[in-house]
Amino acid sequence: MGYCFVNQLNKHIENPLVLFEDEHILIVNKPNNILIHHSYYARNIKDQTLLERIKDELGIVCYPVHRLDRKTSGVLLLTKNKEDVSIFQGLFFRNEIQKKYIGIVRGHTPKEKIIDTPVKNPDTGKYKEALTFLETLQSTTFNIPVHPYSTSRYSLIRLTPKTGRMHQLRIHLNKISHPLVGDYKYGDRFHNRMYEQNFDAPILFLHAENLQFMHPFTKETINIQAPPPLVCKKVLNQV
């Protein structure tokens, strides 16, 4: 079992919801499989949203600055004042916020790779430039057969997106034939099924682990690390 698989994903024991808070912003660790808010694309999902949970548990009404897919976990920036959203979004537009993700993908990935395949906008149907940097943290082989092979190979990777297209990371990993484990839209159903059957882990293994930027009001450097889901520890400790 690879060193990074254990230490990168197993070093945290608890998963707090709130990671940082001041008078302007709230930074949270979004759980897997929860919508940030209700939307047209997820109109058939009636479960409690993240914003509803925050309001119920913390008594705070917040406004998202950026998005994470429903099945993606990790660090999410929210503002407490609606008029501040555009100020923080400006940091994204000017590439002054750095986001890093970790994920588990099918196969052994290269040590480093730049992925620049354009990504289609679902609203306009037009393709837009997209850029992702990939770094392999660890690769491993499990003695668990997955069709059509007698073993199964996976990599723990870190992703740094330089653009923010919808489903960018999932699409980019599919394009290089290393889809995320647990991705039923762009992934490999045989590997997804293996993780579900062997590890009882029906999740998308994509986690926004880090967010770093200079606070536009306080001028403080904010560097937030989000603990990964505990199911990752459960999965990796069984191997």
Residues 6+ apart with CB under 8 A from 51: 36, 37, 61, 62, 64, 78
Residue of 181, 202, 228 lying closest to 73 (CA atoms) = 228
Residue of 54, 4, 18, 81 lying closest to 226 (CA atoms) = 18
Check if the beta carbon of residue 104 is closer than 8 Å to that of residue 80.
no
Give yes or no: 69 in active site. yes
CA atoms within 13 A on the CB side of 1: 12
* Sign (positive or negative) of CA dihedral 96, 75, 72, 190: positive
Tell me whether strands 73-79 and 206-214 are parallel, antiparallel or unpaired. parallel
The 10 Å CB-count burial string (b at 16+, else e) for 17-27 is: eebeeeeebbb
How far is Cα of residue 69 from the mean position of the Cα atoms in its chain? 8
Catalytic residue, candidates 22, 47, 69, 188: 69
CA atoms within 13 A on the CB side of 205: 33
Catalytic positions, written as ranges? 69
